[in-house]
Structure 1
Amino acid sequence: MHTWARRISRDWPPEEVRVTGGWHLGFAGGVTFRANSAVALDPERADPETVERFYRERGAPPAVQVWDGMDDLDRDLSARGYRSVNPALVMVRDLDDVKGPGGRFEVLARPDERWRALWSAEGTGARVVEGQHRIMDRVPEMAYAVEAAGAARGCASLADGWVGLYAMLTAPEARGRGLAAGIVDALLAWGRDRGAERAYLCVMDGNTAALRAYERAGFIRTDRYHFRVGEP
């Protein structure tokens, strides 16, 4: 299995996983493609019909992660009518020079009302919110950082010496004030203090503001992927 696909599946885990027909298939109630997509394990055996049966039995569109180097798979799925969506980058950094989080940022064991309230800032519906929280509840070790007034938040998983940053969000009226950097520092310091050596995050390719912020925070681009999605 692709190294980053395996790590993301561990840190943002599906509710159901099936390994069959040359595929690693994940399903989490249709909430987020990361947890509701297939990864080809054996391209010679990976028949798209296996993917289509799995997801259509669950009322979801068939979706496949396509990473750099999977050009043949990408062409095959395109020819089959799968559209390309959500191109994203993976960015990484070391943790040897992480700053302290500062007094206005808190790291929690569970998301509080301030943390959860920010879902409304991006118009996320209740079903998706609860689905995201069910995913986070399956992570063995996760922390939730929030700015004291509830203007920014994020969470981080911890496993095998890596911290993975997820669900980063700043309220629209508070953007441009460096709050995202404070959340990143808080989560990276949390991971470093628990023995992590490196961190990663996934960000939409084309999200220029976020890319600039993460590059200022010391992250560099290391891989890229997109999804191929068939008809539901």
Structure 2
Amino acid sequence: MPKEQDTPLTTDSWNLIKLIERLAFRTWPAEETIECGDFVFRASQGITKRANSVWTSTGSPFPESNWLEQAKHFYERHTLPLLFHISNVSPPGLDKQLADAGYIVEAPCSVLTGETAIVIANTPDSDSSDDEWEITVTPHANSAWIDEFLLAEQFDASKRAFYEKVLSRIQPLKGFFSFKINGQCAAVATVVLEEGWAGITNVAVVPERRGQGIGRVLLHELALWCKDQGAHHLYLQVVQDNIPAWRLYTKAGFTPLYEYHYRREPLQS
């Protein structure tokens, strides 16, 4: 989880983390948002933590208002648990305050960054198997891409409407990648580009194709496309216990920049 005092951030690192957090915020726009000072309350039917949590990563102090009571009221109105998204640029002391109040840590993640040219150089430009494969990119998440995404993630159809809506709300330039082998879906991914940075999200390989090196080929194609769109820097988020993903991204040239996690309100007795 974020280290508030152990290793002070340099000014450059602080500013870069604030930038990435702001860009990442725009890659997953919630259904409803309300500002409370520089905090943002987000709600989206309770699907995904990022779209249903309080965003606090602006590098600013606490709001002057009674932000905690307002947050509780907002999430009670939506019948959702109160969840805070906390990073290294959240207000100092926020994580400790919530911990002391019994809020539980969930989903610790790391954000990795890489240079587009380095990732291209560190990944293969083709699959070595005899299978026929193709990668297509569409500017919108059409019905076929949603089908493939749900298949790769093993999500049921009840989540379809949420993903259709959240992906359609993304405003910056975006690309939805579909990787097919012998005409069958093997993997998908999303890239969102803004201010010379490309955020890589929704990377998912269908279960029967995992462990076959598809991720490296897909990552190469993603980086090539980002280069063509003028993005020289890449970032992505990895759950800290996802060892295969860590291995893939670090071999490709990504390095950790910062961490974030969520704090969930304690259960009422």
State the TM-score, normalizing by the size of structure 1.
0.89
Deviates more, 1:21-30 or 1:84-93: 21-30
Matches within 5 A, 1:1-232: 2-40=18-56, 41-43=60-62, 45=64, 47-68=67-88, 70=90, 72-97=93-118, 98=120, 102=126, 104-111=134-141, 113=144, 116-140=147-171, 141-148=173-180, 149-231=184-266
Which segment drifts farther, 18-27 or 178-187? 18-27
Q: Judging changes above 3 Å, is the alpha-carbon distance between structure 1 residues 101 and 144 closer, same or farther for their aligned structure 2 residues?
A: farther
Does the residue aligned with 1:88 lie in a helix, a strand or coil?
strand
How many residues align? The count is 232
CA distance in 2, matches of 1:231, 1:3: 31
Structure 2 distance, partners of 1:133, 1:218, is: 32
Rounded Cα–Cα distance in structure 2 between residues aligned with 1:38 and 1:2: 16
* Superimposed CA distance per residue, residues 113-145 of structure 1 (whole angstroms, 9 cap, x where no aligned partner): 366234234432323332123111111221111
Residue 14 of structure 1 contacts residue 35 of structure 1 at CA under 8 Å; is this kept in 2? yes
SS in 2 for 1:104: strand
Question: Unpaired runs of 5+ in structure 1?
Answer: none
Q: What are the Cα deviations for residues 129-162 of structure 1, in whole angstroms up to 9, with x where unaligned? A: 3212311111122111121231111111111111
CA-CA distance at 1:76 after TM superposition: 0.9
CA–CA distance in structure 2, aligned partners of residues 200 and 171 of structure 1: 23
Query: Is the CA contact 1:23–1:42 (under 8 Å) kept in the aligned structure 2?
Result: no
**Do the aligned partners of 2:189 and 2:202 also contact (CA within 8 Å) in 1?**
yes
AA of the residue aligned to 1:63: L
Larger radius of gyration: 2
Deviation at 1:47, TM superposition (A): 3.2
Taking only the aligned residue pairs, the percentage that are identical comes to 25
Q: Whole-Å Cα distance in 1 between the matches of residues 266 and 79 of structure 2? A: 11
Structure 2: stretches of 5+ with no match in the other structure: 1-16, 127-132
> CA distance change for structure 1 residues 74 and 124 in 2, over 3 Å: closer, same or farther?
same
Listed one character per residue, the Cα deviations across residues 143-195 of structure 1 (whole Å, up to 9, x for unaligned) are: 11121231111111111111111111111211121111222222222221111
- In angstroms, what is the RMSD of aligned CA positions? 2.4
- Give the letter for the 1:20 counterpart: C
How far apart, in 1, do the equivalents of 2:44 and 2:232 lie?
Answer: 29
Taking structure 2 as the reference length, what is the TM-score of the superposition?
Answer: 0.78
Residue aligned with 1:151, SS: strand
